[in-house]
Amino acid sequence: MMLSFFDQFASPNYLGIPLIALAIVLPWILYPTPTSRWINNRVLTLQGWFINRLSQQIFLPINQGGHKWAVLLTSLLIFLITLNMLGLLPYTFTPTTQLSLNMAFAVPLWLATVIIGMRNQPTAALGHLLPEGTPTPLIPVLIIIETISLFIRPLALGVRLTANLTAGHLLIQLIATAAFVLLPLMPTVAILTATVLFLLTLLEVAVAMIQAYVFVLLLSLYLQENV
C-alpha cells in the first residue's frame, strides 16, 4: 500500500513510449499566441500584463547587463508554474517532481551564470570565495567551504523544487485516502478530513506558484552576483 503512494511520481508510459515529453510540451500549447493586431482580447491582455509584472519583479534589482536573461527566465517561470499547476489536476503527471528534470534546468543555468562571472569580472567572481577581513589562518578553510557552497547551489535548486512538490502530492493523496476510508465508518470525521483536504489543495496551489518563483528568483540572484 505504501508503495502505491509513490506510483504517481513514476513517469507514465504508453506502448513503451515515455509520455513525459508530452507533459513537458503540453503547457506551451495552452497559451494563446500573440497577434499583430492593435487591440487584443482579454486573455492576451491579461497574459501580457502578467508577464510584464513578473519580469519587473525579477529583474528590477539587476543591472542592465542582466536584462538579456529576461526572456529566458520569464519563460522558465511561466513554464514551471504551468507544470506545477497542471500536476494538481486529477489523473495527471507532474514532471517537476522528477529530480532529473529539475537538475536539467538548474545545472546549465547556474553554470552559465558562473561562466559569465568568470569571463566578465573574474576578480569579483573569485572574490566571493573569500569574505573581506578574513583572518589568515581561516583563509584555506573558508575558501573550501565557499567553493562547496557554490557547487551545492544547483543541487539545492533542484532538490527544493522536487521535495516541496513531492511532499504536497503525498499529503494530498494520504488525506484523500483517509477521507475515502473514513466515509462509511465515521461520516463526520470524513467530512472534516475532506475540508482539510480542500484547504491543503488551496495551499498546494500557492506552493506550486511560490516554488516556481523561488527557483527563478534564486537564479536571478546568482546572475546578479556575476553580472
Residue 1 lies in a domain: no
Residue 2 lies in a domain: no
pLDDT-derived band at 156 (thresholds 50, 70, 90) equals very high
Counted domains in the chain: 1
pLDDT-derived band at 4 (thresholds 50, 70, 90) equals low
What percent of the chain stands above pLDDT 90? 26
Residue 17 lies in a domain: yes
Residue 1 pLDDT greater than 60, yes or no: no
pLDDT at 7: 65
Work out the average pLDDT over 40-52. 81
Domain that holds residue 100: 7-226
* CB count in 10 Å sphere of residue 193: 20
What residue ranges in the chain does DSSP mark as E strands?
13-14, 17-18
- CA distance linking residue 22 with residue 164, whole number of Å: 23
